């Protein structure tokens, strides 16, 4: 499968994503998650100067194609992942519709020194919703590594 699934394209608002689409894909339907999503959007759009250039639809498509290519079972790739010989922090939201938490556990199980953290009541935007906790977790992870 290559290309965005029509449901995903529709969910984010088509080739020109909109705030509601962002909330629908990156956050859960709970009031807490939706509020966190609105706050994240506020932080993302608050900066008016020196902003990064927005990605193009073509760039998003290329990223998705790369994800799809990795999604095809390939034992050689899995062996390569298993050869990672350094600590790895694997994080995800417990309700991520794009990368199911189950796959985070599978990935962590393939990497000898992996640690996994699943953030509650969150989807693909867990690191925006739980930004302070995620940053603290990454800081702890990095500070305990040699």
Q: Which residue has the higher pLDDT, 14 or 134?
A: 134
Is it the case that residue 145 has pLDDT exceeding 90? no
Which tops the pLDDT comparison, 140 or 81? Answer: 140
Which pLDDT score, from 0 to 100, does residue 16 have? 62
pLDDT of 134:
98
Query: Which band of pLDDT confidence, cut at 50, 70 and 90, is reported for residue 1?
Result: very low
Half-sphere exposure of 23 (CA within 13 A, CB side): 17
The pLDDT, as a whole number, for residue 86 is 96
CATH architecture of structural domain 6-143 = 3-Layer(aba) Sandwich (3.40)
Residues facing 118 on adjacent strands = 92
Q: How confident is the model at residue 91 (pLDDT cuts 50, 70, 90)?
A: very high
Q: What distance separates the 2 farthest-apart alpha carbons in the chain? A: 46
Residue extents of the structural domains in the chain: 6-143
Q: Half-sphere exposure (CA, 13 Å, Cβ side) for 95? A: 13
């Amino acid at each position: 499968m290559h290309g965005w699934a029509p449901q995903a394209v529709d969910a984010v608002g088509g080739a020109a994503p909109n705030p509601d689409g962002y909330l629908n894909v990156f956050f859960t339907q709970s009031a807490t998650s939706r509020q966190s999503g609105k706050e994240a959007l506020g932080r993302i759009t608050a900066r008016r100067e020196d902003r990064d250039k927005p990605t193009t639809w073509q760039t998003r498509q290329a990223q998705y194609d790369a994800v799809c290519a990795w999604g095809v079972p390939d034992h050689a790739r899995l062996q390569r992942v298993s050869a990672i010989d350094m600590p790895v922090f694997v994080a995800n939201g417990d309700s991520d519709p794009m990368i199911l938490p189950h796959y985070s556990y599978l990935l962590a199980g393939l990497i000898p020194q992996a640690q996994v953290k699943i953030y509650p009541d969150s989807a693909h935007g867990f690191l925006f919703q739980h930004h302070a906790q995620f940053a603290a977790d990454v800081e702890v992870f990095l500070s305990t590594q040699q």
